[in-house]
Structure 1
Amino acid sequence: MGRKVIWIIVIVLIIGIGYRVITRKENVDKKMRDVGEGLVPVAIQEVKSGDLELILSFVGDIKGEDQVTVYSEATGRLSRYLVEEGNWVKKDQVIALVDRAVTGMEFEEARVKSPLSGTVGRLYLDKGSTIGLETPVALIARMDRVKVEFSIPEKDMVKVSKGQQARVRVDAYPDRTFNGKVTRLSPVVDPITRSAYAEVTLSNPDHKLKPGMFAEIDIVVVSSKGAVVIPKEAILEDLNSKSSFVFVVEGGSAVRRSVEKGISQQGLVEVKSGLSFGEKMIITGQHYLEDGDRVEVVQE
């Protein structure tokens, strides 16, 4: 009994699917029958303006625009820190004391000073730690402005230049974009990595961006505002002349129009010449057309 019920359900499903397919085919056939004899059915779209950008993406690390590692001028042991991480300090403010005690001799504690005004980003040592002349004691950074250090592959070097706009994103604020500019681009390529050192600098008044954060950088290489923009799929390629073209509707006929392509972004292409705003461009059915074919617009 159970199997019989299952078979009935299967048969009903098959009939239902078959009906939908037949109905859909009849609708398509009706549209085609409605098109006049000798006319090619097409869908069109009005040519409109839009903004496009050519973007290169990189990853890098955030640092304070001015950031220094502080060392002691005297050897000994760390007596104590006079500041905490996150504190703001002035230039020449004493941030740590070093016990220079030597057996049989007495010395005044050596003072470690901050070489600039900024925020204490890191205190590296524990009380009593041995300090040499090359032992890092603290990290001080100016936080109002930060920089992102990153590398540019040699193939992209010619596309990037100082002053270009950049957008920075960090994992801590996934819904926020920070704006900056390319402020440094090394003219030398590292022979090992085949890339060049670069920096983007940006304002950081609320100190949201912290030194050490991982960052994603988008550099706007080319920007086109108010450009003629069309869907990529509307463009056809002439393999013989290696040129691009589209079809527009003029007086009920398809007219082939050569176009010069510009930048592209997310399925849209800038047309630098060959089309004007307001023209009716064919976006479906263009693959079956020849210049001058009569057409009927079935979708607009």
Structure 2
Amino acid sequence: MSKKVIIIVLAAAAAAGLVFVPSILAGSDTGSDTTVNANVSMYSVRVDQAAEQTLQAYLEINGEIVPEQQVAVLPDAAGKVVSVKIDLGSEVRKGQIIAEIDPSKPGTSYALSPVYAPISGIVTAPPAAVGSTVTTASTIATVSAMKNFEIEALIPEREVGQLTEGLKARITLQAFPGEVFSATVIRVSPVVDPNSRTKKIILSFDVNDSRINPGMLARVKLNTRTYEDVVTVPAEAVINVRGSSYVYVMEGIDRVALREVEKGVSIDNTTEIKSGLSGGESVVIQGQQFLTNGAAVKVIGTRSQA
């Protein structure tokens, strides 16, 4: 009875086909040839070619649109605000009187002390209220220059080694979906904030646009390191086993070879191959889980058809 059961099980296995474990998992030598059972059907795979191209690394962070110049207006004398000649959003000229302070105290009487706008621009913070008492350290109003705008962004400490003036960025704004504005890093803070563990950068728009307003939230895609003329493959082509990286490379039209490679950076589903592969070679990107070194395969499509 037991012999019949064994025969039935073996027959079923033969009918269903053999499932091969990749040679790297079985501990075999990846450089040796693996004999493929002639009775086993070809495995269906999708392939793509290794390419030589330039990879651009980047960071994506949030930023805020701010005026190029913003000044807090302080009075020359302490006292009571007796008049305010501007409102939030008012346009002012440099030297224009925007408020008056009465420095008089009980038993004394002094002339009013005028408060002048130090720059031309727009009042971007609510001015002090008439009747309020101020000191020479009190802010009467905030005036912002409205000709040029900048973007302030905070970069995590782990990424600050990539920062330098002149880096290019692509800016998107919620107010203008689908539009991209270009900008350049013009200043990098010399210190890391000990509380947030971030470093501030300032970017300037390459082209001024009157639609952009201070206070808008900006999404910043900041280009950092560039990797020129490197061999790349789709990230899904790389198999990582026991700390090593491998790809299946097409040999002829119906065979694959398992090859160890040295992996570099990965950016947007594209992986750099530092050694072990040349540009133009075809690699398997789908169906590797059933393959072994030297397996017979049938190519059913490329990456674009996946």
- What is the TM-score with the length of structure 1 in the denominator? 0.72
- Residue 70 of structure 1: CA displacement? 0.6
Distance 1:118 1:276, change over 3 A: farther
Distance 1:204 1:134, change over 3 A: farther
Out of 135, 138, 141, the position equivalent to 1:138 is 141
Deviations 1:30-51 (A, max 9, x none): xxxxxx8454332223445777
Alignment of 1:1-300 (within 5 A): 37-38=39-40, 39-47=42-50, 52-103=55-106, 106-202=109-205, 205-223=208-226, 228-239=231-242, 242-252=243-253, 253-272=255-274, 274-300=276-302
- Residue 254 of structure 1: CA displacement? 1.2
Distance 1:175 1:297, change over 3 A: closer
The answer to whether the 8 A contact 1:61-1:214 is kept is yes
Distance 1:42 1:211, change over 3 A: closer
The 1-side partners of 2:178 and 2:252 are apart by 48
- Residue 207 of structure 1: CA displacement? 4.3
The answer to whether the 8 A contact 1:236-1:246 is kept is yes
Distance 1:65 1:190, change over 3 A: same
SS at match of 2:201: strand
The 2-side partners of 1:154 and 1:126 are apart by 42
The 2-side partners of 1:134 and 1:207 are apart by 34
Match of 2:10 in 1: none
SS at match of 1:136: coil
The 1-side partners of 2:53 and 2:82 are apart by 64
SS at match of 2:289: helix
The 1-side partners of 2:59 and 2:239 are apart by 26
Distance 1:100 1:207, change over 3 A: farther
SS at match of 2:208: coil
The 1-side partners of 2:97 and 2:232 are apart by 60
1:167 alignment partner AA: R
1:196 alignment partner AA: K
Distance 1:61 1:238, change over 3 A: same
2:192 alignment partner AA: V
Deviations 1:40-77 (A, max 9, x none): 33222344577754322333443222111111112233
- Residue 114 of structure 1: CA displacement? 1.8
Deviations 1:119-165 (A, max 9, x none): 22123222333222122111111233333334333222213232222
Deviations 1:223-245 (A, max 9, x none): 45786543221111242xx4423
- What is the TM-score with the length of structure 2 in the denominator? 0.70
Deviations 1:97-117 (A, max 9, x none): 223444565544322112223
- Residue 93 of structure 1: CA displacement? 2.7
Equivalenced residues, count? 265
Structure 1 unaligned blocks of 5 or more: 1-28, 30-35
SS at match of 1:156: helix
Distance 1:277 1:122, change over 3 A: same
Deviations 1:191-212 (A, max 9, x none): 3333333333335733444334
